[in-house]
Structure 1
Amino acid sequence: MNNLILAIKDFFTFRFLAFSFVPLIVSSLIFIIVFKFFINYITNIDFNEEAFSFFLGIYILHALQILIFILGNVFGAYLSVNLSIIFALIIISFLTPLIVKAINLKHYNYNKLDEVSFGYTCWMIFKLFMKFGFLLFCVLISYLIPIINIFSSIFLFFLMFYLFFNLLMIDVASCVLNKNDFLNFNPLKLQYIMWVFLFYLICNIPWIGFFLPVFIVIFLTHLMYQKELLVKSMLIDYK
């Protein structure tokens, strides 16, 4: 619980709120502009009015144009929101070293002797996506198998958690731990699984998932410093 309080206090500071909001705002603006052009293109489509020259045809034409305008706005807004979240998550993953560094300087002053190389981290993530791709293929095949397809959605849910959990562990652990500790790191501990699964469930709630990734990184950073590196005694009280 102490880690949770620390993470909340750190999260509600200007720096970490900026880490949360800036990627989302920037990506939202980009996708809003893109879909604005998309909507304008759809609504400016020229219909062949001669095809609607029959009785009440002109009213059907106007109703069709209004329907396309409404659906275009709804569809565009939906895609803008979801794509902006994905884009923001990608940006935040690159911010993880900055977040970890800020937490370390503020609370722990832990000196890493040997950094985990960027290339090795990319190799770990590549292997993870290869495994995920194979498992995803198996899950998609299960949708075609009678009886088993009843559980396919459950399989997919936990497969996405598998990707979510391992990406977070690799991302945060590679920034917190030195090379030797990272190679010996075992993320399959009850405390890690329990907390990340809870965050995963919350991320599936619409809108809340916008702002949670930075908080998750902050929380896991505190947890790893105190549990894996045993630097709890070095903690500086937050004021």
Structure 2
Amino acid sequence: MNILYLSLQNFFSKPFLKFSFLPFFVSLIILALLVFYTYDIFFSYIEDVISRTFMAWFFSFSIVQFSLTFLSAIGGFFIVVFASVFLSMLIISFLTPYIVKKINQKYYNYFIQKEVNSLEVLLKTFKFILTFCVLFIIATFLLIIPFISIVIYYGVFYYLFHKLLLLDVLSNVLDKNSFNNFYKNSSPLNFKISTLIFFILSSIPLLGLFLQVFYVIFLTHLSYQKILNLEAKNNG
């Protein structure tokens, strides 16, 4: 609860609150343009392909067209939500060093003797994305299972969300030795629960765009206190 209180206090301060609006508006504009243009291109392509096949008569029925539109809207909704989350994560990753630095200066004064190598972070990122792609392909084959497939998809995207968010924060908070020791084992339960809650919140349209800075702030405090065993020196 102390970490939650500190994180909320930081998040609603003027400097951090300004950062929250940056990924929100940038992601919103990019995704709106993407959805607007790709939706028309996608349907134009489908209609062109179908019109040349024997299935054209089947897709001429109103109920079929309605079903396709409905399914596309549902699929588009999930795509937009997930895309917005990861796009805002990408934007925030450029601000994470500054966020961590400000929190460290105010509460912990932790000195990093040897920073995490950028190449190591890049390799881990590639590894996580590659694993995600494999899991995504497997999940796609499981689409034949009703309802369960959606849960599986959420699990696959949560994996990538969890890994990339932690990597972004930990590579800025920890020194090289602490960073390597953390990744020798699976993530502690409190980190998994935290990122799971954040992922569920991010599934709510627009909310995930706005709260990315809060996620970074919370995980920064959590890392200092639960991995490095430091106490916050200034609660003001």
TM > 0.5: yes
Higher relative contact order (CA 8 A, sep 6+): 2
Give the residue type in structure 2 aligned to 1:167: L
CA–CA distance in structure 1, aligned partners of residues 162 and 151 of structure 2? 16
How far residue 98 of structure 1 moved from its aligned partner, in angstroms, is 1.2
Q: Secondary structure at the match of 1:143?
A: helix
Match of 1:219 in 2: 218
**Deviation, structure 1 residue 84:** 6.1
Three-state SS of the structure 1 residue aligned to 2:94 is: helix
**What is the 5 A alignment of 1:1-239?**
1-29=1-29, 86-144=86-144, 148=145, 150-185=147-182, 186-232=185-231, 235-239=232-236
Deviations 1:176-218 (A, max 9, x none): 1100110110452111111111111111122221211110110
**1:169 Cα shift?**
1.3
Distance in 2 between residues matched to 1:84 and 1:195, nearest whole Å? 20
The 8 Å contact of residues 24 and 209 in structure 2, kept in 1 or not, is answered as yes
CA 1:151 to 1:173, structure 2 compared with 1: closer, same or farther past 3 Å?
A: same
- Judge conservation of contact 2:84–2:209 (CA < 8 Å) in 1: no
Instruction: Return the TM-score normalized by structure 1.
Output: 0.73
Question: CA–CA distance in 1 between the matches of 2:187 and 2:86?
Answer: 26
Q: Give CA deviations for 1:116-175 in whole Å, capped at 9, x if unaligned.
A: 01111011000000111011111111224xxx4552211111111111111111111111
Deviates more, 1:219-228 or 1:149-158: 149-158
Q: In structure 1, what residue type is equivalent to 2:163?
A: N
> Once superposed, what is the RMSD of the aligned Cα atoms?
2.9
Determine if contact 1:20/1:214 at 8 Å carries over to the other structure: yes
Q: Which moved more, 1:123-132 or 1:196-205?
A: 196-205
Task: Give the count of matched residue pairs.
Answer: 197
The residue matched to 1:184 in structure 2 has which SS? helix
What residue identity is the alignment partner of 2:230?
V
| Structure 1 residues not aligned, in runs of 5+ | 39-73
Which blocks of at least 5 consecutive residues in structure 2 are unaligned? Answer: 38-72
Cα shift at 1:30: 5.8
The answer on whether the counterparts of 1:20 and 1:211 sit within 8 Å (CA) in structure 2 is yes
CA distance in 2, matches of 1:152, 1:30: 28
Confirm or deny: 8 A CA contact 1:161 1:200 kept in the other structure: yes
Q: Give the drift of 1:223.
A: 0.6
Aligned equivalents of 1:174, 1:86: Cα separation in 2: 18
The separation in 1 between residues aligned to 2:85 and 2:28, in whole angstroms, is 8
Which one has a bigger Cα radius of gyration? 1
Match of 1:110, SS state, is coil
Determine the C-alpha separation between the residues in 1 that align with 2:192 and 2:23: 27
Question: CA offset at residue 104 of structure 1?
Answer: 0.5
Separation (CA, whole Å) in 1 of partners of 2:31 and 2:205 = 18
Matched-pair contact (CA < 8 Å) for 1:3–1:219: yes
| In structure 2, C-alpha distance between the alignment counterparts of 1:140 and 1:26, rounded to whole Å | 30
Contact 2:173 2:223 in 1 (8 A): yes
The alpha carbon displacement at 1:238 in A equals 2.6
Identity %: 41
Q: Distance in 2 between matches of 1:86 and 1:162?
A: 12
